[in-house]
Amino acid sequence: MARPRKPLLSTDRIVAAARALVDAEGLAAVSTRRLAAELGVSGPSLYNHFRTKDQILEAVADSVSAQVDLSMFEDGRDWRTALYDWAVSYRAALRDHPNIVPILARGPGRRPAALRLADAVYGAMVEAGWPPAQATSIGALMRYFATGSALGSFAGGFVDDETAYDPADYPHLGQAHLLAEQQERIDERAFATGLTALLDGLERQYERLGETG
């Protein structure tokens, strides 16, 4: 039997094509008609794998969650180091796929990779000695921080035009027009600064647990 000219349609191919569309053009670009055209198949054939566009987008979101490294919760790193390394990996995945962040921000729902992520963070905190309620709060806090950092760029919010920030109106923004060209460096530094501050605060709480325990 002759081999098919095109690879057989699969869930992975659909998700990869949808993810590429979301990355390039945003969530609104995804439709079953557009995906079918991108994949060179008929529209109805997609329904053998996904019943709705929302299911496709959920799968795309979960494919991004699957890119987050979880090994730090399994190799003996202390809870603070593990949280730091995980947050860096999590933000990197979101930074590479910023257009899917609004769906990820809804929470894990039934998405397997997202649930494994939540389970790993919560489990590691409980095993480190955090009470379950605080472990839940830590997982939520870290997700809020990483997700928020991926939703926009502080440095990228300024225009590259020195005339836009009149010293008479904004006496402290004389160099603001230079921020945009240093966007990546500034945003990375801001994330690291905030993450360290968060973990410093959590570490003080953790020390108090030991004092009262």
Kindly list the averaged pLDDT for each block of 10 residues, start to end, along the chain of length 213: 62 96 96 92 87 95 97 96 97 94 93 97 97 96 92 88 92 92 91 97 93 68
At 89 the pLDDT is 97
Domains of the chain and CATH, by start: 69-211 (1.10.357.10)
At 5 the pLDDT is 57
Q: pTM, whole model, 2 decimals?
A: 0.88
At 161, list the tokens: 């035009």
At 161 the pLDDT is 92
8 A C-beta contact, residue 43 and residue 36: yes
Give phi and psi for 9, each to the nearest 5: -65, 135
- Helices 132-150 and 183-212, interaxial angle, to 10°? 170
